[in-house]
Amino acid sequence: MERKNSGSCAAPVRFETARLVIREFAEGDFAPFHGFASDMEVMRYMQDRPCTEEQSAKFLAMAGREREKEPRANWYLAAALREDGALVGTCNFNLSSEFPDAFLGVILARRAQSRGLGTEAARALLGFGFDALGLGKVWGFCNVANTASARMLEKAGMTLERIDEGPHFGIMRWSVVRAEGAA
Ligand SMILES: CC(C)(COP(=O)(O)OP(=O)(O)OC[C@H]1O[C@@H](n2cnc3c(N)ncnc32)[C@H](O)[C@@H]1OP(=O)(O)O)[C@@H](O)C(=O)NCCC(=O)NCCS
């Protein structure tokens, strides 16, 4: 399959859901980003986190470098509220080495959780992968104890394929394939 992302999608990414704008990171995002990236409660299921200031800065620098790559394979995006523009989370969408597979992730600040925004973001990321990039299959991974993430992936349309046992905890592997006949 040809990578559809190697042309038009090199442009800055921005899409909207009912309540979110999902966009490239911009100047001024560091403080709100670090606010939730350094929150132990938010980051408890993430590897190597909560982030120090240095790690948050490195993450945003890495997001900027990935944005410049052609063809682009990794999208690290900001999730902001449409109503006031406040940055409340981050979304990632990554092409897998097993192309045309990809995987997605969502992290929201505490105040934005449990309001349906994660599910909204995950659905929008799937639309991005299937419609804009023309991908065949998208995965989502989470710690078996991360009920909110598992339920978000399920509500976004994913099915649990398997659970891999890790040294410390199990990893749930969810996936969804592009609908038959989709463009
Ligand atoms: C995982 C996350 C993105 C989900 O987003 P969210 O906006 O909170 O989730 P939603 O409101 O869309 O809810 C999705 C489902 O999860 C459930 N849920 C939400 N928060 C929950 C919680 N703290 N505990 C258990 N279930 C929860 C909701 O009830 C809903 O299921 P339901 O419709 O059956 O009731 C968000 O909780 C988060 O950012 N967590 C911290 C970071 C993280 O772990 N990210 C996932 C990385 S794999």
d(CA 5, CA 51): 30
Cα distances (Å, whole numbers) of residue 72 to 65, 69, 123: 10, 5, 21
Class of domain 4-177: alpha beta
Query: What pLDDT does residue 181 have?
Result: 66
Domain boundaries, the chain: 4-177
Q: Is 44 in the pocket of ligand 1 (CB under 6 A)?
A: no
Query: What pLDDT does residue 4 have?
Result: 47
Q: To test ligand 1's pocket by mutation, which of 39, 117, 149, 163 has the most ligand atoms within 8 angstroms of CB?
A: 149
Query: What pLDDT does residue 9 have?
Result: 53
Q: Is 114 in the pocket of ligand 1 (CB under 6 A)?
A: yes
C-beta of residue 39 within 8 angstroms of C-beta of residue 32: no
- Choice among 30-34, 47-51, 131-135 with the minimum mean pLDDT: 47-51
User: Are β-strands 20-24 and 170-177 bridged in parallel, bridged antiparallel, or unpaired?
Assistant: unpaired
pLDDT at 121 over 50: yes
User: Are β-strands 101-108 and 137-143 bridged in parallel, bridged antiparallel, or unpaired?
Assistant: parallel
Distance 114 CA to ligand 1 centre (A): 5
Single out the residue of 144, 104, 137, 146 nearest to residue 122, CA to CA.
104
Q: Give 78's strand partners.
A: 23, 90
Q: Is 108 in the pocket of ligand 1 (CB under 6 A)?
A: yes
pTM of the model: 0.94
Distance 118 CA to ligand 1 centre (A): 6
Q: Is 147 in the pocket of ligand 1 (CB under 6 A)?
A: yes
Q: How confident is the model at residue 11 (pLDDT cuts 50, 70, 90)?
A: confident
